[in-house]
Amino acid sequence: SPETITTRFFTAYPWDKSSLKSLPVDLQQFEKLDAYALKVNVKNSVEELVTALLKQARTDLEKVRAIWMWICHHIEYDVVGYHNKSQLSCKPIDVLQTGKSICEGYAGLFEQMCSIAGIQCMKLSGYSKGYGYKMGQTFTGESDHAWNAVYLDGRWHLLDSTWGSGSVDDSFTKFTFRYNEFYFLTHPALFINNHFPDNSNWQLLKPALVLKDFENNMLHNSNFYTLGLLAAHPGTGVIQTVNGKAAISVDCRSSMLFTFKLKGIQEHGLMTLRKHGMTLEVYPQKTGSHKLQIFAKSSKASEDVYNCVLEYVLECKSVDKSTRFPKDLHQPVGPSWFSERQGFLRPSHPDPIIHTNDGRCSVTFTLGKDISVLTSLHSDNSSLTEDMRRRHIMQIHRGNQIELKIHLPHAGNFVLKIYAKKKSDPGNYDYIFNYLISCLNTEVKWPAFPQSYSKWAEDYEILEPLSGLLPANRNVQFKLKLHGIAKVLVQADNTYPLTRSRDGYWEGTCNTAGCTEVFVMVHENANHSFYSHVLKYEVETQ
């Protein structure tokens, strides 16, 4: 029994986050050996099988690898036998000849093959967070799983060939071979996440984890680690909301993309990407128990497949009705390494939510690429058309700086969506990111900015009047920054020329009496009589 093994083998080593394995392993060096082991086809005796496998294996590590690869690709999980254990033999020779077994048989065959190969190997048993595991459940009674420890390079290492071979479907009626490298020589600090041995020495950890902590700790499946994720907070699988809110964060090695689902739908959350992870705030809108899943994918992955990396249960006692997000809000929210990569640098507002009391805000970026920017404003309770809402945002360009001036039409929560495309590209704009703009002041009621036409150049600027709605029967002051222009006229009931001041602004006044619209027109060339419309203002009705 393992008790007799002296404890000097159990050198505890914390996870330094550099490797998922307890032994430095170069998988490329195994490629030839792996390919060879998969082709070996011997069914007469375990001895003959091992002899054949070891032809290409020199070191102890290579011998263990060949045995591991063969078992993971040739023994399938016996879903029928699992339900009818009395008819099932877990003897190594029977496992070999039928080609199927349950964990007990995988671990027994592994142990015997190692023994024949002259490698110290133990069959271990304990509790596992495998098929049928429910978040936060307790473990009592007999152990439910078996795996192995092998002795290599002066210390013990853990592996689980059952879980390395593939997976069973939810109804536990069908096994699928799907090789999983994660369970070969897994670092003990990671293995303990879903394997709790009967004898705590075999955790290979100091101090050893107690069962209560094993039960409460968050289950990280192998995707979590293979994708390069490092930690999740909170570390327990069941979270109590506080005042209707739960906060989750994930740390990872490199830039990753994340999504989430609350009860199967991506809603009631605010997720922000960080350089090395993400943070998520969730506000369930119903009390009770809710499943929260978090998905991740590498930022380099070409295919759009997110893998589930975490599953929490949220226990929600009260609902925060005041925090409701607009349906047009897209996750993640706010600027991030992703928007930076698309050319939006140095945001004036690094946070996802912009709070404004007077209904106005101004967001600036440095554009790191030669891009055209398009924006839109969305709200759940707005009677305005999308085209009209768009006119509540004004773009101002100064060199490679862009400013988005926003005047909200009313109080509430708005989504500011930002799209971009390369100036050289004829195609459509791509969605990049969005902000949540929040204004609680019910007095707010800003008019739209004036309408601009195609001749209004990107680096023109309106200093006044900013409001697209001018008062009736008034003298209105105009001040515009335009360049490469010969003449500027303001067309109301009469025509008013603007004059160019020393500092390059076009200035003047116009009277709004007797008209419903006012246009600004420019003359690009003094020799031509042709004027282009660049701006249009409405005039308040009497």
Query: 3-class DSSP state for residue 412?
Result: strand
Q: Which residues contact 16 (CB under 8 A, 6 or more apart)?
A: none
Active site residue 94: no
Tokens in use for 258? 């994340």
Which among 73, 74, 145, 220 is annotated as catalytic?
Answer: 145
> Contact, 488 vs 497, CB < 8 A?
yes
Which among 121, 157, 160, 361 is annotated as catalytic?
Answer: 160
**What is the gyration radius of the CA atoms in the chain, in angstroms?**
33
Cα–Cα dist 521/510, whole Å? 13
> Contact, 496 vs 508, CB < 8 A?
yes
Which of 513, 447, 507, 505 minimizes the C-alpha distance to 475?
513
Which among 72, 90, 103, 361 is annotated as catalytic?
Answer: 103
CB atoms within 10 A of CB 292: 20
Q: Which residues contact 321 (CB under 8 A, 6 or more apart)?
A: 285
> Contact, 61 vs 69, CB < 8 A?
no
CA angle 239, 243, 246 (to 5 degrees): 35
Q: Which amino acid is at 427?
A: G
> Contact, 200 vs 208, CB < 8 A?
yes
Which of 320, 331, 418 minimizes the C-alpha distance to 378?
418
Active site residue 160: yes
Tokens in use for 58? 């020199």
Active site residue 251: no
Helix 46-54 vs helix 60-74: angle between axes, to the nearest 10 degrees?
120
Q: 58-83: string of b/e by CB count within 10 Å (b at 16+)? A: eebbbbbbbbbbbbbbbbebbbebbe
Return the active site residues.
Answer: 103, 145, 160
